Structure 1
């Protein structure tokens, strides 16, 4: 099972820690704001402040941008960019940034807005991952994938059932589940047979990597 650091790449320190822990993928949330590719999961509260349930308030000026994260990664192929929002412009900007700053480096791009993934269709180094956060999205995704293969999917753990897993396996070999933040979550994910666990817990991911190796 792959170990994926949930939001691990949303800061330089978090990215460095996750890569050093030996995880297989580090999630980096990307949002477009006034022309800037901001790395954040938090929501804007006005033009200067951001809020997130886990981290509370932060200042926008403290946010890294995608180019900084790519520079810190230094060509490491373990990034998974999670594109937030519905802006096709953002997808185009991210694609261009990858071509310039990480040319040819393998990278995963994930989003719930699947049309954005079409932007990367001509980039063979980009693994396109379809994300689903609710039952309606899962149903639409299963219908979309029937009769075709996709690079991968990322689905909320509580939405996965044996019948859903059976359908997903016909379309892809990469099934990521989130959030997997406790031993019971991990046990459920393993029982279902998912191929990757997305977790905020570095100790849990570290244990998963060590046990696998």
Structure 2
């Protein structure tokens, strides 16, 4: 399978989305939260109980009041070009999966849709949408072991997403024997790109345009 170029957080901003599409990436990643009944697309997290969203950026800690309007998922789906896939990273437990599945079903985008999450029950809501491709995410060694047990029991998704710190050639080979795509994130320089490709992944999630260009240039 072709090594996929996945633009990390590109779906969280419409200008970044268009830039990534122009670059020719295969997949746009977007982070989806439910807040106050809305499906907000952002990486920042709610600093409960304060009315503040927080994130870490190039300059350090970034704070935004929750009253500031956020990009919503319906606007992202409308902005898709109909060809480039979108990967919706469902943040947190609860009804986010069900709410996103409802909106995706209603919008019926022509672009391919991937749904991923560290909270795997949230992906069950997409069972009625067979054209949505589920991806199980693992960030820690414990999550990876749980993921391997789940796959061994025959519950096979479209793909898995592992933080690059979890990658070994044996782990990747075992996963690729069971799922179509093994993707990894945290790949933000070309040396790391070479390392993860050598380990056998076939999906690279990156914030860096140069890394994504290198992935595309391998074809």
Say yes or no: TM over 0.5: yes
Q: Which moved more, 1:98-107 or 1:30-39?
A: 98-107
**Aligned pair partner of 2:96 in 62, 65, 90:** 90
TM-score in terms of structure 1 length: 0.92
**1:52 and 2:33 matched:** no
**RMSD of aligned Cα (Å):** 1.6
> In the alignment, what sits opposite 2:118?
112
Q: Which moved more, 1:126-135 or 1:176-185?
A: 176-185
Q: Which runs of 5+ in 2 are unaligned?
A: none
**CA offsets, 1:113-150, max 9 Å, x none?**
11111110121210000000000000000000015332
SS of the equivalent of 1:155 reads: strand
- Counterpart CA distance in 2 for 1:171 and 1:143 is 12
SS of the equivalent of 2:11 reads: coil
Q: Which moved more, 1:126-135 or 1:10-19?
A: 10-19
Q: Aligned-pair distance for 1:75?
A: 3.4
Q: Which runs of 5+ in 1 are unaligned?
A: none
SS of the equivalent of 2:177 reads: helix
TM-score in terms of structure 2 length: 0.90
SS of the equivalent of 2:12 reads: coil
Q: Aligned-pair distance for 1:77?
A: 4.4
> In the alignment, what sits opposite 1:204?
211
**CA offsets, 1:130-178, max 9 Å, x none?**
0000000000000000153321000001101122112212211200011
